[in-house]
Amino acid sequence: TMLKKVLLGSLGAALVLTAGILLGHFGIQRGSTAPDWVMDVTQDVDEALIQKFIVEVDNIAIQENLRELTKVPHMATSPGDEQTVQYMLKRWQDPDTGLDQAWREEYKVYLSFPDPNTPNKVTVGESWEKAYSSDQEDPEVVQPYAAYAPAGHPKGRLVYANQGKPSDYFLLNQTLNLTGTVAITRYGGEGRAGKAINAAPYGVIGVLVYTDPWDINDGKMSDNNETYPFSWYMPPSGVERGSFNTHYGDMLTPYLAAKDDTYRIPEKNITGIPPIPTQPIGFEDAYALICDVKLDIYNREELKNSANVMGVIRGSVEPDRYVIYGNHRDSWVHGAIDPSSGTSVMLEVTRVLGRMVKQGKWRPRRSIIFGSWGAEEFGLIGSTEYTEEYYSKLSERSVAYINVDIAVKTPGSDSTSVYDNWIRYFNRTSPAYGVIPNVGFLTGAGSDYAAFIHFLGITSMDISYTYDRTKTRARIYPAYHTAYDTFDYASKFIDPGFTSHQTVARTAGNVLIRLADSLLLPFNCSDYAETLEGYLSKAMELYTDGLAAHMISIGGSQSLAYTHTHTHTHTQRGMGGQRKGHVIWASSKAGQATFPGLADAYTRAASTGLDSDWKEAHRQLSILIQAIQGAAHTLGDAI
């Protein structure tokens, strides 16, 4: 078929190019009289230096980093956030262990906050989480709210709508008139904003969202002996905050950096946010809601200045090639695990590397850029604005992006190595190598890697120490986005001794040094080939018959008349969402391990049956073919 021929041709050209590079490198004769600059240019990664780095990473230093970072709540643009900005700058500008340079970059972004003088209320429930320690009593603890949900005061009959998926409301509407009702939904199965967006067409006037103890606590519900402060499980009053927004980045300046003088679209043109009042609640309140309810939502939107803190270690041989390491800084409350576990790890990585640089013992081949992103919790805003401002430079010069957000979700069970645990619990069978550790896909916009891989197409990874999912149903650590995600919680129930944090720091630093210092980048074309071949097989299996029934051939589709520029633009903007530019790695709603744009378009067309949707599926197939052809051409002859 045409798609298969294009794909196989691209892979063949890539393998020939790789072989040429290897022959060129190893065919060079090295003499002892070579000039110093030749030795510098041909220097490969130093394994002894990596071992030195691993030895110097200190778990107690990471623990103290976390203690400092979680002293006060630090929601984006709050006084606590500014305090954390200053702390990051102090560490990265330290004369003994700092970086070559560190600075802050400001963006004026559109955020959503509750009214501090008029709390949001659900009339039959409590507005605040129960205090088990002084952390929950801090006056800077933001009340539970749904960021970007509109203000309003809906009152109506309560209906249970499961996870708030389109199918849930469709089935519910078969037996109930939903007009004028308030829906109560549980987290999971559908994005936060989707629970309200899906409800509005049925006449629902408000939505409540709670975390079900079955999904997060393995059914544990009592704070007398089962939940925090006695275990890692969420207490009954715990409320998961979050951004109720289906897009990422600043909503008023899509594809543009949110500077003071940037054009902003009218607020009425914003899409992807709840059209009706929405509020998160704890499961003890959800349990009690058996009657009519009234929601009083006083959220308000503001333009606020949010800062990224940036740092750099300049490369000695290829300073114009960047390895980027990032983690967001802001949290909903104290954020010990999300995100400060990752920030603590990043600070330890920069301390060890910074000392090596300051002592003259090491300088990377390529430049390393560190980013402490702002306003991630509101929709990956800091990292997205950074990629928008420096789009051209990052697209051309970036080698890879490493993201460490939630570094540790649970402590390690034993002293087994990371590799052995990895291959034991999360493996796959490779045609070339047999059973190997599996590397997942960054298919969703779950953290700051999204803009780098989905928008810019930069090789990216997200590192986290997770738990054995055969032992718990928890979809994430139970204190996630609540007032109980504190240093006390982290040090008692997540990682006593901080040895798992130490392991993540060693792993992330190991990868970082290899990417920055390797003479030949440690990327494997055969892995990419396996993925593309798997995507092709899945696409042929799932879509060939359905497309053929609508006179669309996945094998012989004629290309649409786009130029290369048009293909690039439509690949970015033509996939049903903002900033999802990569035909292989963009996020997908279809849940299929195949080309995301085609998968989403086909799934929608098969669901609606509309001719316009089948035309969109045809268009996505054409975009895919031309994108792969374009990549193949760059690997072929110069003319």
Q: Report the distance separating Cα 445 and Cα 587, nearest Å.
A: 7
Q: Which two tokens stand for residue 500?
A: 């798992």
Closest residue by Cα to residue 119 from 278, 285, 279, 297: 297
Closest residue by Cα to residue 607 from 165, 186, 176, 174: 165
Closest residue by Cα to residue 4 from 555, 582, 599, 581: 555
To the query of whether residue 190 is one of the catalytic residues in this protein, the response is no
Closest residue by Cα to residue 284 from 207, 216, 195, 222: 222
Give long-range contacts, CB 8 A cutoff, 24+ apart: 359-362: 361/49, 362/46, 362/49
Q: Please tell me what DSSP assigns to residue 141.
A: P
Q: Report the distance separating Cα 616 and Cα 609, nearest Å.
A: 12
Q: Which two tokens stand for residue 491?
A: 């040090």
Q: Please tell me what DSSP assigns to residue 180.
A: T
Q: Report the distance separating Cα 333 and Cα 487, nearest Å.
A: 12
Phi, psi of 386 (to 5 degrees): -65, -45
Write down the catalytic residue from 376, 385, 389, 616.
376
The CA-atom distances, in angstroms, between 246 and each of 38, 75, 168, 273 are 51, 20, 19, 7
Residue with tokens 């989480």: 129
Half-sphere exposure of residue 182: CA atoms within 13 angstroms, side-chain side: 26
Burial 561-580 (b: 16+ CB within 10 A, else e): ebeeeebbebbbebbbbbbb
Q: Which two tokens stand for residue 364?
A: 């990377």
Closest residue by Cα to residue 201 from 244, 172, 160: 172
Helices 2-26, 525-548: crossing angle, 10 deg rounding? 170
Distance of CA 554 to the CA centre of its chain: 32
- Helix (H) / strand (E) element for 2: namely helix 2-26
Burial 355-378 (b: 16+ CB within 10 A, else e): bbbbeeebbbbbbbbbbbbbbbbb
Q: Given the DSSP bridges, would you call strands 155-156 and 293-296 parallel, antiparallel or unpaired?
A: antiparallel
N residues, the chain: 639
Q: Given the DSSP bridges, would you call strands 398-403 and 434-437 parallel, antiparallel or unpaired?
A: unpaired
- 580 three-state secondary structure: coil
> Cβ of 40: how many Cβ atoms within 10 Å?
12
Where in the sequence numbering do the catalytic residues fall? Answer: 376
